[in-house]
Structure 1
Amino acid sequence: MDNILILGGTGFVGRQLRERLAAARLRLTIPTREGGHAGSEPAAAVRVVTADVHDPDALARLMRGQDAVVNLVAILHGTAERFEQVHVALPRSIASACASAGVRRLVHVSALGADPAGPSMYQRSKARGEAVLQAAAEAGTLDLTVLRPSVIFGAGDQFLSVFAQLQRVFPVIPLAGADTRFQPVWVGDVAAAVQRCLQDDATIGQTYEACGPEVLRLRELVRLAGQWSGVAGGRGRPVFALPMPLARLQAWVMERLPGEPLMTRDNLDSMAVDNVASGRLPGLKALGITPAALADIAPGYLARR
């Protein structure tokens, strides 16, 4: 298995995965709408192609000559139609293009909490996307592995880094979903898990929950982000939990601000349930990966910021 197509290869997890696979001397194809070589890997190891992966014809062309596909494409915010396009229609197109090109191997990165009856559009659409691919696998056209990561942290993340930055600006942090529990996983461990799945055929047909070793409430994570980034002399800012009516108002306002929102009402809906491993599915240790602790990684990159 030498030729790997990475959909979403210019994103947060994608950049980490590219470095690992390029170091393993695999040949990578990375579609992007911008074009150009957008990474630190040797150009000979990575072929960056200008393409829209939501175009079925473009996706069919990308599949030619590939031995495996990794799908990392996802969004956190959007309308019901946008979630359907990215999390459901794209996996359906991937399954069809793989079948047409004879590409059997697919590693699909979904999300912890994917649930057809989940409280948010995000969770429900992630579950429907998994179902589309599982149906193709059951029909015998795909050799599928699914990874379900919890919230992912690491240098350049849009999680702890955002909370640290907010505490540099505001004297207090009013927080929605303050008591929701998370099991954050390091981006390097997620990339390692994808690589392990590509290398080991025993992972075919499996779904893995990719989670870190610690379960923390959101208020605790925000407090640690402030402390590790040195805000207020290493104390961080006070965090105040918002009651649900105010939390929904805050999310509604944020949805209407220019740029990518920090919080939407759908994000808030997701936090109605804890984002922790169910224990019913294998985790990173089943892939031979000992997940990194938050305190071993986050202080280094937060302090540099």
Structure 2
Amino acid sequence: MTSRKVLIVGGSGFVGTAVAARLARDGLSLRIPTRRRARVRHLLTLPDVDLVEADVFDPPTLAGLMQGVDAVVSLVGVLHSRPGQPYGPDFARAHVELPTLLVAAARQAGVTRLVHVSALGAAPDGPSEYQRSKAAGEAAIRAGAPELAWTILRPSVIFGPGDSFLNLFAGLVRTFPVLPLGGAGARFQPVYVQDVADVVAEALVRPDAAGLTCDLAGPTVYTLAELVAYVARLTGRSTRIVPLSEPLALLQAAVLERLPGPLMSRDNVRSMRADNITGGPPQPWGRTPTALETVVPRWLGRANRRGHFDAFRKPRP
């Protein structure tokens, strides 16, 4: 990039924090919108970051955020939505409407570069509303060409310190000696959050990244049951995993999705009908992905038990 200012939409979340830190190390100037500035105090330690309280779904506000920006990184995603067809309203808002607004605002402001983080398994005919909405969001990004040079990244489930995946299961296996598990045989290829941040950073500077849709995954395929068993071993638990049939998993999810901050939804169960793995290279440009076993023990080992309940803690207002 010849210029140095990047707008990160979704920059205050788990992945966004890693991306912001990575781009800051590259010396880029960052603009990160947030609904509440108090929630993103952890980003204030980054050099040259502008935290703006803003509603990114408001077109005039988004137009203002685009001023003086050279590139946009789009990271917003949600895992749960009220139901609907072909996808629910919350999926539509986050995964389809927002990418559409970003493309329109970027074109209006003359911003020509956008990196969009979607999801592995996104497909118009996917079994879940989540997957179908992610595919629709990708289509909205591609519609920005030729004025907008886009790159779409499709990560598998992302792990790292503070994630809502392995940390969630760490809390569950510590709490329950027997764990009924829906989708136990579903296959995943988890990718390290730092790898995702590194690929985003590389995509912003590589001319050959424009127009590419790239999978992002780790080096190894696991079943969900294998991942939960691994977390149990790391945390010193002897939890018994009881695989559930899909009808029972859907029944379990129907109960769980009624809870505040649901751990599982029926749409999540339907997503697991399709293996979340890549059929090609796990990462673009010959990158070597980080093995889960080389980093996860740093924060999920027995010495780190206090962190196992992070997934159950509500964020402070």
Please give the TM-score of this superposition, normalised by the length of structure 1.
Answer: 0.94
Give the secondary-structure state (helix, strand or coil) at the position aligned to 1:39. helix
Query: How far off its partner does 1:215 sit?
Result: 0.2
1:51 aligns with 2:49: no
**Which residue does the alignment assign to 1:190?**
196
Deviations 1:91-116 (A, max 9, x none): 00000000100001000000000000
1:159 aligns with 2:160: no
Give the secondary-structure state (helix, strand or coil) at the position aligned to 1:93. helix
**Which residue does the alignment assign to 1:274?**
275
Cα contact 1:110–1:146 (8 A) shared by 2: yes
Cα contact 1:193–1:287 (8 A) shared by 2: no
Query: How far off its partner does 1:283 sit?
Result: 4.0
1:85 aligns with 2:78: no
1:65 corresponds to which of 68, 81, 87: 68
Q: Which amino acid aligns with 1:248?
A: L
**Which residue does the alignment assign to 2:262?**
261
- Identical positions, percent: 50
2:143 corresponds to which of 123, 135, 138: 135
Query: How far off its partner does 1:288 sit?
Result: 4.2
Distance 1:91 1:175, change over 3 A: same
**Which residue does the alignment assign to 1:212?**
218
Q: C-alpha distance in 2, partners of 1:186/1:277?
A: 15
Q: C-alpha distance in 1, partners of 2:188/2:246?
A: 19
Cα contact 2:219–2:282 (8 A) shared by 1: no
Q: C-alpha distance in 2, partners of 1:160/1:43?
A: 27
Cα contact 2:218–2:282 (8 A) shared by 1: no
Deviations 1:184-239 (A, max 9, x none): 000000000000001111100111100000000000000001111222xxxx3110
The number of aligned residues is: 295
Query: How far off its partner does 1:56 sit?
Result: 1.2
Q: C-alpha distance in 1, partners of 2:162/2:54?
A: 25
Where does structure 1 lack aligned partners over 5 or more consecutive residues? none
Q: C-alpha distance in 2, partners of 1:239/1:153?
A: 21
Deviations 1:255-301 (A, max 9, x none): 111x211100000010011000022xx542x3342111010011111
Distance 1:82 1:40, change over 3 A: closer
Query: How far off its partner does 1:38 sit?
Result: 2.3
Where does structure 2 lack aligned partners over 5 or more consecutive residues? 83-87, 308-317
Deviations 1:168-195 (A, max 9, x none): 1111110000000000000000000000
Please give the TM-score of this superposition, normalised by the length of structure 2.
Answer: 0.90
Cα contact 1:6–1:70 (8 A) shared by 2: yes
Cα contact 2:181–2:249 (8 A) shared by 1: yes
**Which residue does the alignment assign to 2:12?**
10
Q: Which moved more, 1:110-119 or 1:16-25?
A: 16-25
Q: Which amino acid aligns with 2:108?
A: S
Cα contact 1:19–1:41 (8 A) shared by 2: no
1:290 aligns with 2:291: no
1:102 corresponds to which of 80, 97, 110: 110
Q: C-alpha distance in 1, partners of 2:299/2:74?
A: 27
Give the secondary-structure state (helix, strand or coil) at the position aligned to 1:47. strand
